[in-house]
Amino acid sequence: MHTATANTVARAKSSGLEGVVVADSELSEVDGEQGRLILRGFSVEELGHHATLEQAAELLWNGRLPDAGDRRMQRAFGEARRRAFSLVPALGPALALPDAMASLRAAVAHVAENEPEPGPALAGAVAVFAAAWARRAEGRAPVAPDPSLSHAADYLRMLRGTPPSAAAERALSSYLVTVADHGMNASTFAARVVASTGSDAVSAIVAGIGALKGPLHGGAPGPVLDMLDAIGAPERAAGWLEAELAAGRRIMGMGHRIYRVRDPRAAVLERAIEELERAGDAASRRLPLARGVERAAVEVLAARYPERALRTNVEFYTAVLLDALGVERRSFSATFAVGRVIGWYAHVEEQRRSGRLIRPASRYVGPGSATQ
């Protein structure tokens, strides 16, 4: 694990403010006790296994789940990718930044505030700029989008240079839909705060990207893969994990602020990986190792924190799935943003409609306070 990540994670503490309600929302409900995630009335299992990202966007943005044959949103996303690609030459140094999320933050800031369809424009920009950064990082030219493809298929195509198989498209689609929204998580809150001031959607999404960049939020899957590499074989897992805890480090992909049981998204992704492997189209086959490490991590954490319920979170199988799709680990967080931008935009619009400024309070503990 990178030292900076390990230190940040080792120092992380609860704020004591979890559970504070800052908005009413129709978008998603996270039940941390039962391990359930509902997206506008549909379970994450139902959507994750069957919906495309365009269908999830229609559901989250407009409140209706369209038929698979309804291509309106797919056309809007395709057109938005084409327009975003025309901005690439004007992005200048933004695409040359060494970190994918820093690059995405700078690049998305170039999207015009007055786009006629801001949701598709932002979704298109995130996918096109994330893929263009990844190509550049490999010393290759960006690949122009194919607006006739689904968003998931075209993102993989723009990353890898060749159209994906149906199995790979389905697996990425499962991932993107599964992570599209998740209650008032940190990046969604950041985006809503910006939207609540009456600012524009581009500023709000840039704020979301900034929050997602942190290792406690969207940055965990890369280190999960580093961990699987370092462990190498299931029988080495318990010893390796115990040594990590003894060194004061956290186990990446385990634990969650809300879930006290296994994150339901982990099962959706685990099944997506199984299906990809069964189709013979996985670039890597880490599922047996990952399952062994997961079992060992749950046991080691239960022994160390018997009073906590530290279980697998979404990032654990995200790492395995994206790696199996041939996505480089340096692009994992940006790929998360390709899915999560759908939820961010839904929340931005919902917040804007409420017309309410989010202005929480802090507790003064400085000189002269009662706590001094």
Catalytic residues: 256, 315
Q: Contact 337/100 with Cβ under 8 angstroms?
A: no
* Minimum distance from residue 159 beta carbon to ligand COA (Å): 23
**97 sits near ligand COA (criterion: CB under 6 A):** no
Reference 241, options 313, 293, 286; nearest CA is 293
Give the helix ranges, DSSP H, for the chain.
3-11, 44-50, 53-62, 72-87, 100-108, 118-137, 151-160, 166-178, 186-196, 201-212, 221-231, 237-246, 264-278, 287-304, 314-324, 332-354
* Minimum distance from residue 281 beta carbon to ligand COA (Å): 27
Nearer to ligand COA by C-beta: 7 or 199? 7
**Binders in 163-202 for ligand COA, by CB under 6 A:** none
The only residue of 308, 356, 357, 364 in contact with ligand COA, by rule CB under 6 A:
308
Q: Contact 73/57 with Cβ under 8 angstroms?
A: yes
**305 sits near ligand COA (criterion: CB under 6 A):** yes
Give the tokens for residue 204. 């709000």
**Tokens 């309804």 sit on residue:** 70
Reference 171, options 276, 283, 266; nearest CA is 276
Binding mask 322-341 for ligand COA (x = CB under 6 A): --------------------
**9 sits near ligand COA (criterion: CB under 6 A):** yes
Nearer to ligand COA by C-beta: 193 or 252? 252
**Tokens 């074989």 sit on residue:** 233
Binding mask 250-269 for ligand COA (x = CB under 6 A): xxxxxxxx------------
Give the tokens for residue 288. 């047996």
**Binders in 222-251 for ligand COA, by CB under 6 A:** 250-251
The only residue of 14, 114, 369, 372 in contact with ligand COA, by rule CB under 6 A:
14
Summarize as ranges the residues that interact with ligand COA (CB under 6 A).
9, 12, 14, 216, 220, 250-257, 305, 308, 310, 313-315
